[in-house]
Amino acid sequence: MNHDAQSGGAAERSPRPDEAAAGRAAARQRKSLREGGVSTALRLVSYASLIALWAYGANALGAVLPGPLETLRFIAREYERGTLLFHLWVTTQRVLVAFAIALSSGVALGAVMGLSRRVDDLLQGWLITTLTVPRILLFVVSYLLLGLNDRALVIALIITVLPTIVVSIREGTRAIDGKLVDMAYAFRRSRAQVWWKVVLPQLMPFVVGTARGSLALSWKMVVLGELLGRTSGVGYQISFYFQFFNMVGILAYGVTMMVLLAIIDLWIMGALQRRVFRWRSPVKVGSVG
């Protein structure tokens, strides 16, 4: 009788399965919150260290390198004049147009080259040439052939970014699991269903990763193109202030460009990546550069 009572008391004291699951879930949530707090703190330390190094360099070099506060005041003045937003918007338009054309064309060409050996051999010379030609040469030749206009800049920018996208998508297509494709056809799925349900999900990591890297490359190269032959945009403003040896103006537009790219990459491209990969375990999304 005493043994039965002890067994009953032990059974009452042992947690039920639903209570144990709730406890594990709560523990995981607490761990996630702690990790999130540590991650946020480390990011703040990272950005703060950059600003501190900038301030230290400005203090050590004197008038050669303007400090963060002086640069921020210059940015505020340019914003009040309306100059900053105008040139940022002009540059953003050029980047988005070139990036959209390059990404769509690059994904299509890369997929075809990855699936067809003959197409890959046919376009191999073009791909190698565009990958190895100096990028500054593309802008110079485009301006000489088409004139100093936005069309020349956008075309040169597309040719600059396109090969990188093609190579990445081509290798991603070659990495597709052929057994899954064969299985889909064995279950009598249509070609459109196979591409949408089997091929595209396997390509998406390459597409999204390439898109983020290519967008960052487009932002960097458009400044070079504007500096060489345009009369508007962030690159033009950097060239303008360089002629007067105005370091604060150069830094102001350079820093503003960096901040804008970081916002687009972390918020827009990062949100797109999380949405595309919502079917799998959560991933940490950082910036590219």
List pLDDT tens digits, range 62-71: 778 899 999 9
Instruction: Give the model's pLDDT for residue 289.
Output: 47
Sign of CA dihedral 65, 254, 151, 126: positive
CATH of the domain at 194: 1.10.3720.10
Q: How many domains does the chain have?
A: 2
List the one residue out of 140, 175, 173, 138 whose CA is nearest residue 158. 138
Total-model pTM: 0.77
Torsion of CA 59, 63, 66, 67, to 10 degrees: 20
Q: Please check whether residues 220 and 157 belong to one and the same domain.
A: yes
Each residue of 261-288: b (16+ CB within 10 Å) or e?
beebbeeebbeebeeebeeeeeeebeeb
Q: Please check whether residues 199 and 262 belong to one and the same domain.
A: yes
Instruction: Give the model's pLDDT for residue 32.
Output: 66
Give 101: exposed, middle or buried? Use CB within 10 Å, 0-12, 13-18, 19+: middle
On whether the CB atoms of residues 230 and 153 are closer than 8 A, the answer is: yes
Residues 6+ apart with CB under 8 A from 280: none
Q: Please check whether residues 22 and 154 belong to one and the same domain.
A: no
Any domain includes 85: yes
Cα separation, 54 vs 61, in Å, equals 10
DSSP conformation letters of 7-23: HHHHHHHSPPHHHHHHH
On whether the CB atoms of residues 152 and 145 are closer than 8 A, the answer is: yes
Low-confidence ranges of the chain (pLDDT < 50): 10-11, 283, 289
Residues 6+ apart with CB under 8 A from 167: 110, 127, 131
Q: Please check whether residues 162 and 223 belong to one and the same domain.
A: yes
Instruction: Give the model's pLDDT for residue 284.
Output: 53
Q: Please check whether residues 18 and 95 belong to one and the same domain.
A: no
Please work out, in degrees rounded to the nearest 5, the angle formed at the alpha carbon of residue 39 by the alpha carbons of 33 and 40: 90
Instruction: Give the model's pLDDT for residue 266.
Output: 79
Any domain includes 282: no
Any domain includes 203: yes
Any domain includes 231: yes
Q: How many residues does the chain have?
A: 289
Instruction: Give the model's pLDDT for residue 273.
Output: 73
Instruction: Give the model's pLDDT for residue 19.
Output: 66
Give the domain range for residue 35: 2-50
Instruction: Give the model's pLDDT for residue 25.
Output: 67
Cα separation, 209 vs 23, in Å, equals 37
Cα separation, 175 vs 280, in Å, equals 19
Residue carrying the six token digits 């501190």:
52
Any domain includes 254: yes
Cα separation, 198 vs 180, in Å, equals 7
Q: Please check whether residues 29 and 73 belong to one and the same domain.
A: no
List the one residue out of 252, 283, 254, 286 whose CA is nearest residue 267. 286
Half-sphere exposure of 280 (CA within 13 A, CB side): 10
Please work out, in degrees rounded to the nearest 5, the angle formed at the alpha carbon of residue 141 by the alpha carbons of 140 and 145: 120
